[in-house]
Copies of this chain bind each other. A is one copy, B any other.
Amino acid sequence: MTPPIVFYDIPSTLPNKAWSPNTWKTRYALNYKGVPYTTVWVEYPDIEPLCRDIGATPTSTKADGRPHYTLPIIHDPSTGLVVSDSTKIAAYLDATYSDTPRLIPVGTMGLQRAFEAAAQSLLAPVTQYGHPAANAKLNPTSEAYIRRTREAMWRKTLEELTPKGAEDVVQWAKVKEGFGKMDEWIGASGEGSAYIMGDAPCYADMWIAGYVVWIKLILPDKWEDMKLWHGGRWATLLQNLEKYETVM
């Protein structure tokens, strides 16, 4: 029997450890397809050494020109391949495990990529809430690493990033407006559609769910508000996908 896929994820102090919106996309994908995998937890300072060790492709380039390595990454012993980036992982799983439900229905990769670009831009306002709250849930070694690197990059403390008072009202309304657009897109797919392509979830739904579960886990007070938005769309999305949240 081929050993299971190794799924590299970042741990937190939360009960199930999983928290990252980007790695959630891959966890949903693996569980939805029912492909056997095992999670290996990697603290932030260990990501780059690991990636160099296993020959993972960087997902972008840093401002100073050095490669930037990010999780999720999977290593599939059945093919020997290492794949970085949640979209590329989704495409790889569809191609390699073709008898499992598709994440990216045939012909939709270009549109899923366009969806990602649009959704990323809509969700930009949520990061100022998410980064500080997520950092507070990391283990000490990752917490210190993210604080050092991000505070140098943004030239402010993580705590300063979080909108407060009147600014919170403005910024949180922007977050709601962004989710409102995504609610419209899902609604445009048909009356009562649970997912953006209709009856079955696709990669774009897992992309959204990755962010929604992240908000639920790290910003529980904000989630109390958000779960009532858009006719309960986001609470229902998590209920529908809850069976694919198992941490293996």
A contact set with B: CB distance below 8 Å = 105-115, 117-119, 121-122, 181-182, 184-190, 193, 196-198, 204
Chain B CB within 10 Å, residue with most, of A112, A114, A117, A198: A114
A117 touches which one: B106, B107, B118, B204 (CB < 8 A)? B118
Nearest to A196 among chain B residues (CB) is B110
Cα A181 to Cα B119 in complex, Å, equals 15
- Across the interface, do B118 and A197 meet the contact criterion of CB distance under 8 Å? no
Contacts of A185 in B (CB 8 A): 110-111, 113-114
Cα A107 to Cα B195 in complex, Å, equals 10
Contacts of A187 in B (CB 8 A): 110
The copy count of this chain in the complex is 2
Contacts of A108 in B (CB 8 A): 108, 111, 197
- Across the interface, do B196 and A111 meet the contact criterion of CB distance under 8 Å? yes
Q: Contacts A114-B118, A118-B117; is A109 near B181 (CB within 8 Å)? A: no
Cα A193 to Cα B107 in complex, Å, equals 10
Nearest to A88 among chain B residues (CB) is B188
Cα A204 to Cα B112 in complex, Å, equals 12
Could you list some 30 contacts between A and B, CB below 8 A? A106-B198, A107-B198, A108-B108, A108-B111, A108-B197, A109-B188, A110-B185, A110-B188, A110-B189, A110-B193, A110-B196, A110-B197, A111-B111, A111-B112, A111-B115, A111-B185, A111-B196, A111-B197, A113-B185, A113-B188, A114-B114, A114-B115, A114-B119, A114-B182, A114-B204, A115-B118, A117-B118, A117-B122, A117-B181, A121-B121
Nearest to A187 among chain B residues (CB) is B110
A186 touches which one: B110, B112, B121 (CB < 8 A)? B110
Q: Which 5 A-B pairs have the closest CB atoms?
A: A118-B118, A110-B196, A111-B111, A114-B115, A110-B189
